[in-house]
Structure 1
Amino acid sequence: MEYIRVSKDNLEEEHICCAISNNKDIQVSSKKAWLADRFDEGLVFLKSVERGKCFIEYIPAEYAWNPINAPEYMYIDCLWVSGSLKGHGYSSDLLNECIKDSKEKGKKGICILSAAKKKPFLSDPKFLAFKGFQVCDEADNGIQLWYLSFEKSVETPCFKECAKYPRIDEKGYVLYYTNQCPFNAKYVPVLEETAKNNGIPFRAIRIETRDQAQNAPTPITTYALFCDGDYVTNEQMNDKKFLKLVNAKAKRKPGDS
């Protein structure tokens, strides 16, 4: 497999989104704008020549848009291999390149979000364990921080206190999100319109700065949906999925789990 490193110089020409073919799509333009501001902070976006169907995106942890403490670590935003490209070792190729690059840059290790069981848009814990990663912290909603250390004696990464117990005070549905994920540019407005048309209390909060992201009330900042203060999911939704969730919660009696 041949890989391309996306940079400021080729960002406009390169295809970066595995499920979006049109580079002029609002989803692509929002993601590219987000990337353009991260390259000077050390972000690396390495993708296959297969129109972005497999890629890795990582950044020095101090610049990560997540509430973590991971000094001198590299943080992996996303490691993604889709469709027919799965099962050919491309995830290992990309991860190995990240490890090599991180070591050359003097990092102590790398870290990434996952969970005990595979969750949408998070790396597979079985793959991470196979590659030598270990869990170093866990929020009470089951989101875990995994790490791979390059040294025997090194401080392990951890979540900031604001992310350990993902809850908020606001009632109704509240969505925290960033433009790091391109799909948000399309589907967040869909949820806003759906909620409005159906009288559902809903507020979308776009995280616009690194400082906001690093102090967010959730380990996952790309997409975190809350309901009446409780964390619900990181799975992006269209109108049908959202209404199904709302209806299911409405049918539950107080005290139901």
Structure 2
Amino acid sequence: MEIIKLAEENIHDEHICCAISDKKCVDGYEKKKEWLKKEFRNGYNFQKVNVRGKVFIEYVPIENSWLPITGKNFMVVNCFWVSGQFKGKGNGKKLLEQCLTDSKEMDGIIAVSSDKKRPFMTDPKFLKHQGFEIIDEAEPYFKLWGLKINPKAEFPKFIESSKSGKCPNSQGITAYYSNTCPFTEYYTNRLLREYAKKKNIPLEINQIKSQEDGRRMPIPWVINSVFYKGELVSLEMKVERHLEKLIG
């Protein structure tokens, strides 16, 4: 199947895989497209298999990544998703090969994942199978996976301030989100606000609007995260069930 590269010239005519038919997330969908158009100018890549589904990979040179990672001349994989009927057919490997092709002048590729498969993260089993290794760790479960193209290169690392797994605010609920994902606008700015109001719990929402904001994150993740009394609760969008376990 054909791989399509999104760019400013075709993004208005192409879907971006996530939230294709989710009417709740129309606003977030358009904001993700606007975010992409700006980041394309910084070398951001969005490659997708030409099907109507979630089969895509996003990556950017580390120098322009929003993640709190230090290093140089590596490609950073952001979202990498192969879903449903498109799994197990070589699509993930095909997309990763496209990333490798675009990274041939670089020292390697890195991706933030975890100790196991978690929502919105690249499957660590897949990364390991493709030759990636764990090159750094951060609390409570973040792993930085790396694959060298240049064997003499030094792997990037998480910025130290992103390794604690805790946020500065120890009161109530604290959320961070960016428009790098079309789901965050609805689930964070609407549903989480409604939940906090219903429970009468203090809520602080921080929108990550720039690379500088991302580099100051207390965890190595910029899509969406929710903390309760300073402790990380979840990276998922539908976070109420996680909060209920703590709050009741």
Shared fold per TM-score greater than 0.5: yes
Provide the residue aligned with 1:122 in structure 2: 121
Provide the residue aligned with 2:245 in structure 1: 248
The alpha-carbon deviation at position 52 of structure 1 amounts to 4.5
Asked if the contact 1:17–1:52 (Cα under 8 Å) also holds between the matched residues in 2, the reply is: yes
User: What are the Cα deviations for residues 224-249 of structure 1, in whole angstroms up to 9, with x where unaligned?
Assistant: 11111111221111xxx51x333311
1:21 & 1:13 partners in 2: Cα distance?
15
1:1-257, aligned counterparts within 5 Å?
A: 1-21=1-21, 25-103=26-104, 106-170=105-169, 171-188=171-188, 189-237=190-238, 241-242=239-240, 244-250=241-247
Match of 1:62, SS state, is helix
State the number of aligned residues. Answer: 245
2:54 & 2:225 partners in 1: Cα distance?
24
1:82 & 1:49 partners in 2: Cα distance?
14
Question: Which of 91-100 and 25-34 deviates more?
Answer: 25-34
State the AA in 1 paired with 2:244: N
User: What are the Cα deviations for residues 110-161 of structure 1, in whole angstroms up to 9, with x where unaligned?
Assistant: 1001112111111111110110000110002110110100122111110001
Question: Which of 16-25 and 90-99 deviates more?
Answer: 16-25
Match of 1:37, SS state, is helix
Provide the residue aligned with 1:254 in structure 2: none
List runs of 5+ in structure 1 lacking aligned partners: 252-257
State the AA in 1 paired with 2:135: C
1:116 & 1:66 partners in 2: Cα distance?
18
Question: Which of 8-17 and 48-57 deviates more?
Answer: 48-57
What is the root-mean-square deviation in Å for CA atoms of aligned residues?
Answer: 1.5
Under a length normalisation based on structure 2, what TM-score does the superposition of the two structures give?
Answer: 0.94
* Higher RCO (CA < 8 A, seq sep 6+): 2
- CA 1:167–1:22 in structure 2 vs 1: closer, same or farther (change >3 Å)? closer
List runs of 5+ in structure 2 lacking aligned partners: none
Question: Which of 24-33 and 88-97 deviates more?
Answer: 24-33
